[in-house]
Amino acid sequence: MRVAIMYSGGKDSTFAIDHAMEKGWDIRYLISIKPTRTDCYLFHYATVEHTKELAEILKIPHVLEKCSVADPEKEAEIVKKIVEKKQKTDPINAVVLGGTGLQETQLRSIQNALRPLGIEVFASHAGEEHDLVIEQMLNKGYEIMITQVASDGLMPWLGRKLTKENFDELRRDSVMYKFHIGFEGGYADTLVLDGPIFDKKLVVEDFKRVVEDNYSGHVKINRLRILNKEEKVEH
């Protein structure tokens, strides 16, 4: 199956690539949408621009477009225009989204937009438990940085990396503060810096925590580098 993958650089879309590779699907290109405003419905706001470096590491063709609207149908039309143009030279059968399918607005909006083109749209690991998906990723060696938060109890996690050692702490916080453990619904966004699908790794050398209010904030990455896996980071 020839597929394109919606790619924010976060944990769910990264795991969608991992899933597609395991299935033997032919990943023709990645689609990344960078909102120019914070109230976008369908797409991550923080650090999406760094999908450019990650796609370079993955050696997969990459389309990065901006989104200046805050309307699910209009946002999905951006995806439709990308796919419609690419179908002429690099046709696909499906567009794959990360996640378990709980983000119904995103899934349905893109399904509706691409239905006239005969393109299937589905979530890569639909029906799986979010905490188990994150555990799988951590056990596989993925390095996951929390780059945006929008919930009580998550501000201390902004800029931190999820690890096998601190994941139980996140579980406890999700119960205490009642946010979704997989961050579905916009509670938080992430950036995956390293993992088994990457030949090299991204190293964030300098970043700033931008606090918007008591519950919300995002990371602004000032400097990062692509390093070989064996290279050590100098502090």
Claim to verify: residue 203 and residue 147 sit in the same structural domain:
yes
Instruction: Give domain status of residue 235, yes or no.
Output: no
Specify the higher pLDDT residue, 128 or 214. Answer: 214
**Domains in the chain: how many in total?**
2
Residue 235 has pLDDT above 60, yes or no: no
Last residue in a domain, options 123, 156, 187? 123
Last residue in a domain, options 79, 102, 123? 123
Instruction: Give domain status of residue 12, yes or no.
Output: yes
Residue 13 has pLDDT above 60, yes or no: yes
How far is CA 74 from its chain centroid?
20
**Could you tell me what percentage of the chain is helix, strand and coil, using 3-state DSSP and rounding each to the nearest 5?**
35, 30, 35
Mean predicted confidence (pLDDT) in 198-219 = 95
Claim to verify: residue 12 and residue 56 sit in the same structural domain:
yes
Q: CATH number for the domain including 182?
A: 3.90.1490.10
Cβ within 8 Å of residue 33, ≥6 positions away: 6, 42, 43, 48, 64, 65, 66, 67, 75, 78, 79
- The percent of residues above 70 in pLDDT, for the chain, comes to 97
Claim to verify: residue 174 and residue 144 sit in the same structural domain:
yes
Claim to verify: residue 60 and residue 97 sit in the same structural domain:
yes
Task: Give the global pTM.
Answer: 0.94
Residue 23 has pLDDT above 90, yes or no: yes
Claim to verify: residue 100 and residue 6 sit in the same structural domain:
yes
Neighbours of 114 (CB within 10 A): 20
Instruction: Give domain status of residue 128, yes or no.
Output: no
Last residue in a domain, options 79, 96, 123? 123
Instruction: Give domain status of residue 199, yes or no.
Output: yes
Instruction: Give domain status of residue 234, yes or no.
Output: no
Residue 130: its pLDDT value, please?
Answer: 84
Instruction: Give domain status of residue 79, yes or no.
Output: yes
Instruction: Give domain status of residue 221, yes or no.
Output: yes
Cα Dmax for the chain: 52
Q: How confident is the model at residue 234 (pLDDT cuts 50, 70, 90)?
A: low
Instruction: Give domain status of residue 233, yes or no.
Output: no
Claim to verify: residue 64 and residue 146 sit in the same structural domain:
no
pLDDT digits (tens, 9 = 90+) for 94-130: 999 987 655 688 889 999 999 999 999 999 887 788 8
Residue 41: its pLDDT value, please?
Answer: 83
Q: Distance between CA 11 and CA 156 in Å, rounded?
A: 19
Mean predicted confidence (pLDDT) in 17-25 = 97
Domain extent at residue 41: 2-123
